[in-house]
């Protein structure tokens, strides 16, 4: 890291900085991405690890493409006009899980997937909600 590459006010690296060597494990596909610009404080990199991938036989090609995809997904949040620290699908999946947990909290027996599915079938909710748009 060169001093001229840092933000003069905070000393943070520029948004989009990817570290995929030196501090990462050499035998698996993993990298750190600083996806958002931090105006105050310290920018936090996010660590990404690819657990399994059947799509790319060439590891060097898949690393660059995966990093580009993750970087682009950090720009897709409808809730924020700036780049987010995590990819939008992850943020939306967490929001959906929190919403489902609120709905299932009323019925303590619905803490498992099987119990939740049985509850939905029992009340006939699946037929009522079929084709209905659901916004978070």
> What pLDDT, on the 0 to 100 scale, is given for residue 89?
92
Residue 117 vs residue 107, higher pLDDT: 117
- Per-residue pLDDT averaged across 61-89, rounded? 87
Average pLDDT on 82-107 reads 82
pLDDT-derived band at 116, boundaries 50, 70, 90: low
Domain-by-domain residue ranges, the chain? 3-73, 88-129
Q: Which residue has the higher pLDDT, 115 or 5?
A: 115
For 34-72, the pLDDT digits (tens) are 888 877 777 888 898 888 777 766 666 678 888 899 999
Model confidence at 31: pLDDT above 60: yes
Given a cut of 60, is residue 3 above it in pLDDT?
A: no
| Mean pLDDT computed over 62-84 | 87
Radius of gyration of the chain (CA): 20
Q: What's the rounded mean pLDDT across residues 123-129?
A: 60
CA dist 65 and 20 (Å) reads: 13
Output 125 or 15, whichever has higher pLDDT.
15
């Amino acid at each position: 890291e060169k001093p001229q590459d840092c933000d003069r006010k905070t000393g943070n690296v520029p948004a989009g900085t990817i570290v995929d060597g030196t501090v990462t494990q050499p035998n698996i596909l993993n990298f750190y991405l600083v996806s958002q610009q931090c105006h105050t404080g310290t920018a936090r990199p996010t660590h990404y690890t690819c657990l399994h991938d059947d799509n790319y036989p060439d590891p060097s090609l898949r690393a660059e493409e995966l990093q580009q995809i993750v970087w682009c997904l950090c720009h897709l949040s409808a809730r924020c006009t700036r780049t987010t620290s995590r990819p939008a699908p992850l943020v939306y999946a967490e929001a959906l899980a929190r919403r489902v947990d609120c709905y299932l909290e009323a019925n303590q027996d619905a803490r498992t997937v099987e119990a939740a599915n049985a509850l939905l079938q029992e009340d006939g909710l699946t037929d009522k909600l079929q084709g209905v748009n659901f916004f978070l």
